[in-house]
Amino acid sequence: MGVAETRQALQSKQVSSVELTQALLDRAAAHQHLGAFLHLDAEAALARAAAADARLAAGESGALIGVPLAHKDIFVTADMPTTAGSKMLEGYRSPFDATVVARLNAAGTVSLGKLNCDEYAMGSANENSAYFPATNPWDTTRVPGGSSGGSAAAVAARLLPGATGTDTGGSIRQPASFTGITGIKPTYGVCSRYGMIAFASSLDQAGPMARSAEDCALLLSAMSGFDERDATSVQQAPQDFHAQMLQPREGASAAQPLKGLRIGLPREFFPAALAADVDGAVRAGLKELEKLGATLVDVSLPRTELAIPVYYIIAPAEASSNLSRFDGVKFGHRAAKYTDLLDMYKKTRAEGFGAEVKRRIMIGTYVLSHGYYDAYYLQAQKLRRMIADDFQACFRQCDLIAGPVAPSVAWKAGEGAEDPVKAYLADIFTLPGSLAGLPGMSVPVGFGEGGMPVGLQLLGNYFKEGQLLHAAHALQQATDWHRASPVSRPF
């Protein structure tokens, strides 16, 4: 069951949260080969479920009371360890919960544990996890995408109704696409970053990963909202994304719920080199949106290719600064043997960080250093602004933007390992929206090479999560792609 079905079953007392949680714990135990969980605590999960059942028995009717989920291990949690997929934080216990976690706890969700991810969310395949890779439940010889790969694998394999993820340059959308689930990265500032271990602070954003737009809407309503502890949190009233999702469009009809919706297709999102299977599935999804009344318009995002160098300057620059806090003094790992303070810093960081994290710290330090700052970091910031402006020019011609999430379906495990630049290039379609701070979704639209899922990316203007969810929900009411799972393959 997804989030909405689980809620229904719990409220109508068809099942208790303890029963559900036990069933999912059993499923997780039978699917350890997927590598989805970094931490699973059956006893604690069942205690949380019992507390939720007590709330339900007392007549509480909050949408998420008793709904099991788990968190990407980049959110700090007081009652569970937090590693950010790094050896640096092995055994680390936070004294507090991330705001997103605290809000979902307050809403009554039952956390089963912490989900695998790339180290400090740096990666596209979950192979940069310092512990073990997560695998794709559709084909375990392939990657589930990253960096929220554990979240994607768990939801796709039906180990959980939903999960939290984070997206800095595509880490909710791309793994959702690779595993045939639905994910939304809201506008930068909609979910609090407090307690989300920082990778690139101007880009990091939390969001839900689940089976459908409806499930995502239910989770996002509980996760989001202003937080005085995050200086970049947007000051807006709490939102009911589920109600926004259901809000009919003016002039729309039951048969044509998207009548009047203009969907822009940036030429640059459909290059000649785009894999034919991805192109075919994306176009099938667009055809369905047209049947529902949407009109497709040709638009341009001329700086799409530049999003790659811009992101891979800005994100490492911010990471190099953020990760300076892991110095062996305050958090996690400290080298056992050292001669003096400087030697302790060096040994701790050399031992605690993996190769990709070190690469980014070096790139980031380089582009911020005296003599290179103007040539790299400053230029990247200027281009970032121009990329954001390009989107605004598009949104004068359309309401939403659509295209592929990734240039291919999930690749084979080990394929990206030897050439990090190849993995960076595959982020081309998700990075522009991240740099602009726009909300974006991945919605399943069929299957490609090897029977692997393909996602359609939908991007909206700032704070248009409701519009995105509405369009995705309309599509999912009319099609079955999101119902397919590796458990019940469509073919």
Place of tokens 């250093």: 369
Q: Which amino acid is at 165?
A: G
Which of residues 170 and 440 has its CB atom nearest to ligand GLN in the complex?
170
Identified catalytic residue from 17, 111, 171, 485: 171
Structure tokens at 489: 């393959």
d(CA 261, CA 39): 43
Nearer to ligand GLN, 151 or 233 (CB): 151
Q: Tokens representing 104?
A: 């979902």
Which 65-94 positions form the footprint of ligand GLN (CB under 6 A)? none
475 lies in the site for ligand GLN, by CB under 6 A: no
- Taking the complex as a whole, the smallest distance from the CB of residue 323 to ligand GLN amounts, in Å, to 13
* Whole-angstrom distance, CA of residue 187 vs CA of residue 457: 15
Count of residues that bind ligand GLN according to CB under 6 A: 13
Tell me, yes or no, if 488 is annotated catalytic: no
Residue 94 annotated in active site:
no
147 scored as a contact of ligand GLN (CB under 6 A): yes
68, 113, 123, 460: residue in contact with ligand GLN (rule CB under 6 A): 123
**Does the protein bind ligand GLN through residue 427 (CB under 6 A)?**
yes
Choices 50-58, 153-161, 166-174, 406-414; region in contact with ligand GLN by CB under 6 A: 166-174
Confirm or reject binding of residue 441 to ligand GLN (CB under 6 A): no
Looking from the CA of 366 toward its CB, the CA atoms found within 13 Å total 10
d(CA 178, CA 123): 14
Residue 41's CB is within 10 A of a number of other CB atoms, namely: 18
Q: Give the number of other Cβ atoms within 10 Å of residue 156's Cβ.
A: 29
Among 170, 180, 416, 466, binds ligand GLN (CB under 6 A): 170
Q: What is the spatial distance between Cα 15 and Cα 466, in angstroms, rounded to a whole number?
A: 31
Stretch that binds ligand GLN, among 58-66, 122-130, 291-299, 335-343 (CB under 6 A): 122-130
Among 16, 124, 187, 476, binds ligand GLN (CB under 6 A): 124
Question: Which residue is nearest to ligand GLN, using beta carbons?
Answer: 171
Phi, psi of 474 (to 5 degrees): -60, -45
- Gap between the Cα atoms of 341 and 347, Å rounded: 10
Q: Taken in order 244, 168, 102, 80, is the CA torsion positive or negative?
A: positive
Q: Which region, judged by CB under 6 A, interacts with ligand GLN, from 3-11, 45-53, 162-170, 482-490?
A: 162-170
| 147 counts as catalytic | yes
Instruction: List beta partners, residue 111.
Output: 69
**What is the spatial distance between Cα 262 and Cα 294, in angstroms, rounded to a whole number?**
6
Tokens 């290179």 -> residue: 372
Token duo for residue 380: 């990247």
Q: Looking at 16, 17, 72, 86, which residue is catalytic?
A: 72
Q: Is 119 among the residues that bind ligand GLN (CB under 6 A)?
A: no
Two structure tokens written together for 93: 């216990």
Site residues for ligand GLN, 44-63, by CB under 6 A, read: none
Nearest residue (CB) to ligand GLN, 234 versus 435: 435
Interface residue with ligand GLN, options 167, 214, 268, 390 (CB under 6 A): 167
Least separation, in Å, of the C-beta of 406 and ligand GLN?
A: 10
Site mask for ligand GLN (CB under 6 A), range 172-201, x = bound: ---------------------------x--
- The tokens for 11 are 């409220």
Catalytic position from the list 147, 148, 434, 485: 147
Q: How far apart are CA 51 and CA 49, in angstroms?
A: 5
Quick one: which of 5, 49, 3 has its CA closest to 25?
49
Judged by CB under 6 A, the stretch of 64-72, 169-177, 372-380, 381-389 that binds ligand GLN is 169-177
Query: Which residues are catalytic, by number?
Result: 72, 147, 171
Contact residues for ligand GLN (CB under 6 A)? 121-124, 147, 167-171, 199, 315, 427
